[in-house]
Amino acid sequence: SKFDLVVVNGLVVTASDISSFDIGIKDGKIHTLAPSFSSEDIGDAQVIDAEGAMVMPGGIDAHVHLCQDQKTDIGGGKCADNFETGSRSAVCGGTTTMVTFATQTRVEEDRSLLKVVEAYDARAQATGSYIDYAFHIIIVRDDKDVLEEELPVLVEKWGITSCKVFMTYETMRLQDYQLLDVMLAALKNSITTMIHAENGDMIEWLTQKLESKGMMAPYFHALSRPPSVEGEAANRAIVLAELIENPILFVHVGSSASANVIRAAQTRGLPVFAETCPQYLNLTWEDLKRFHSPTCFENSKMICSPPPSPDSSDQDALYIGLHNGTFTIFSSDHCPFKYDDPHGKMVGILDHEPSAATDGVPLTELAHKKVGRFSLIPNGIPGVETRLPLLFTRGVSTGRITPQKFVELTATNPAKLYGLYPRKGAILPGSDADLVIWHPEGALTSFKLTNEHLHHNVDYTPYEGMEFGNWPRYTICRGKVMWANDVLLGKPRDGQYLKRGPNQLGKGVAHFKKDPRRVAAWVHE
């Protein structure tokens, strides 16, 4: 027949439009959009009746950590999700594409970026992925030979067109000199540089001060990273990038201090892009005191870097940034560690208490009694499955952002920024038939989330007990129904690796400056 699958009675939402359309899908691609299909059009195709619900491009989560196990990574700990469990969680929350990280380390075997990518590819192949996936490369050293020889191969062979660098973490951070080296190498290969902007020296200094005063409970993680830590680093990265006119993207922006300097750079016409994440719209420093008492170790469940927003006024500022375009994309920063696990959030407490004293005592019980040590707790929280429902409930349903803005932030812009558009992030003839279909308005009365709802391999969610007003009813990947009415139908080998092209969001207008004295006029040669 004409189509394999049709979605009828949907309110189709794209980054620009909302309109009632039926969608015909053939061979995994969007084939036809029409006001209404006849029964002849439909033939014997599989039919999904959207019942008036919003139908959107499937979510693209461009910031997901899977299989990152090295002790030297993001504050230690063992990543709880692999490609199977992470992608399973993603698809049950409406996400159809993810970009995960392949990480160089300072261990000698990990010097080669190509070897690192091969290793992560093997991890993905070992379990398979429910959804399509791609890699960013994390660069933690500035070996000239590696940058020169390997970056072009990463682009050509693997379609990796984005790299991430860190301005904090002893084992990962680059100094300004090295940041310039990596940025210039990235620029020459049309690779977008993603920046973890926190001032590592400020964090180390503040951490030392806090520890010397015995202020080691999880709550103090936030005090070791006040907003100026992020604001200073973001400003410095912008200055460095502007010098050589390099497009940059700030990952996980968590405060208005950072958002404001980013906004100012964008106003000057620089190609500066930014991402924020659910934890910065839905958690605050107060949540680091949520359980039992401010010193309760269970608060380690909320530890991520940068920390949650200081307060609700910062959350409001970030919502304004979503609305006014400061933020290009909205990603989860899914960085999963188990709570009740000596390789997860318990790293801090085990170190704090000698093992003899803790022998045989369940970790969860210990956690209520001990304060742990925030500086040892792995930094990151799970959220790949809750990303879209949280923004839908608190952003779209409240009217803070339009449905079109939601699509732009969660699918279309990530696709354009990371070179996947219009194969992904669009509902156009020829695009992959990746769709998320919500419940019709009013059909799903709000419910309280518990971790049992979720499909990750993590034993908690930071959003436990939170009210959700909607949830994806169907997730479709390349024409296959993967998630329907709370049932997972997909398989862990349904996903494919995606080679990506360059950033499609442009280079800004600042590079039209004709001043021959400008650094970029001579330094690129």
Report the candidate in 475, 456, 494 with the shortest Cα–Cα distance to residue 88.
456
Please report how many Cα atoms fall inside a 13 Å half-sphere around the Cα of residue 71, on the Cβ side.
3
Based on CB atoms, which residue is closest to ligand DUC, 282 or 379?
379
Considering only 314, 333, 432, 434, the residue that binds ligand DUC (CB under 6 A) is 333
| Residue 163 interacting with ligand DUC (CB under 6 A) | no
Backbone dihedral angles phi then psi of residue 64, each to the nearest 5 degrees: -135, 130
Q: Considering the complex, what minimum distance in angstroms separates the CB of residue 168 from ligand DUC?
A: 7
* For ligand DUC, the closer CB: 263 or 334: 334
Nearer to ligand DUC, 8 or 160 (CB): 160
292 interacts with, out of Zn ion, ligand DUC, none, CB within 5 to 8 A per kind:
Zn ion
Q: Determine how many CB atoms are found less than 10 A away from the CB of residue 201.
A: 13
Contact pattern from residue 194 through residue 213 relative to Zn ion, giving x for each residue in contact according to CB under 5 A and a dash for the rest? --x-----------------
Q: Is 196 a binder of ligand DUC (CB under 6 A)?
A: yes
Shorter beta-carbon distance to ligand DUC: residue 304 or 482: 304
- Does the footprint of Zn ion cover residue 317 (CB under 5 A)? no
DSSP 273-304: EEEE-HHHHH-BGGGGG-SSSTT-GGGGGG--
Pick the closer one to ligand DUC by CB: 305 or 413.
Answer: 305
When asked if residue 367 is in the footprint of ligand DUC (CB under 6 A), the reply is no
Residue 281 binds ligand DUC (CB under 6 A): no
Task: Return the ∠ at Cα 455 (arms to 6 and 383), rounded to 5°.
Answer: 95
Which residues are CB-neighbours of 125 under 8 A, at least 6 positions away? none
CB of 166 to Zn ion, least distance (A): 6
174 near ligand DUC, judged by CB under 6 A:
no
Per-residue contact string for residues 240-279; x = within reach of ligand DUC by CB under 6 A: -----------xx---------------------------
Q: Are 475 and 482 in contact (CB under 8 A)?
A: yes
The residue from 104, 127, 193, 305 that contacts ligand DUC (CB under 6 A) is: 305
C-alpha closest to that of 274 among 228, 223, 237: 237
Residue from 157, 368, 448, 493 in contact with Zn ion (CB under 5 A): 368
Q: Which does 379 bind (CB under 5 to 8 A by kind): ligand DUC, Zn ion, none?
A: ligand DUC
Query: Is the C-alpha dihedral spanning 34, 37, 41, 47 positive or negative?
Result: positive
Q: Which of residues 255-314 bind Zn ion (CB under 5 A)?
A: 292, 296, 298
According to DSSP, the β-strands at 472-477 and 435-438 are antiparallel
The nearest distance, CB 505 to ligand DUC, in angstroms, is 21
Cβ proximity to ligand DUC: between 87 and 393 the closer is: 87
Cα–Cα dist 484/474, whole Å: 4
Burial of 44: CB neighbours in 10 Å, binned 0-12, 13-18, 19+? exposed
List the beta bridge partners of residue 284.
309
Query: Which partner in ligand DUC, Zn ion, none is near 296 (CB below 5 to 8 A by kind)?
Result: Zn ion
Residue 260 CB, shortest distance to ligand DUC, in Å, is 21
Cβ atoms of 384 and 332 within 8 Å: the answer is yes
As beta bridge partners, residue 147 has none
305 or 412: CB nearest ligand DUC:
305
Q: Please identify which residue in 379, 431, 470, 475 interacts with ligand DUC, judged by CB under 6 A.
A: 379
3-state secondary structure of 302: helix
Cα distances (Å, whole numbers) of residue 84 to 16, 157, 268? 33, 24, 43
The phi and psi torsions of 324 (rounded to 5 degrees) equal -95, 5
Query: Using CB under 6 A, which residues numbered 50 to 79 contact ligand DUC?
Result: 74
Binding of ligand DUC by 455 (CB under 6 A):
no
Closest approach of Cβ 413 to ligand DUC, in Å? 18
- Angle at the Cα of 264 (from 259 to 269), degrees rounded to 5? 125
386 touches ligand DUC by CB under 6 A? no
The 3-state DSSP class for residue 93 equals coil
Please name which of 1, 45, 420, 15 lies closest in space to residue 23, comparing C-alpha atoms.
Answer: 45
Which uninterrupted H or E stretch holds 18?
strand 18-26
Total of residues contacting ligand DUC (CB under 6 A): 10
> 313: which 2 tokens?
């006024």
Residue labelled with tokens 């792995």: 378
- What is the nearest approach in angstroms of ligand DUC to the Cβ of residue 252? 6
Q: How many CA atoms lie within 13 A of 387 on its CB side?
A: 36
State the nearest-atom distance from the C-beta of 418 to ligand DUC, in Å. 15
Tell me if 71 contacts Zn ion by CB under 5 A: no
Residues 118-147 that bind ligand DUC (CB under 6 A): none
Q: How many CB atoms lie within 10 A of CB 143?
A: 15
DSSP bridge partners of 334: 64, 381
Output 230 or 333, the one with its CB closest to ligand DUC: 333
Distance in Å, CB of 99 to ligand DUC, minimum: 12
Q: Based on CB atoms, which residue is closest to Zn ion, 37 or 297?
A: 297
Residues lying near ligand DUC in the complex (CB under 6 A) are found at 74, 196, 251-252, 304-305, 333, 335, 379-380
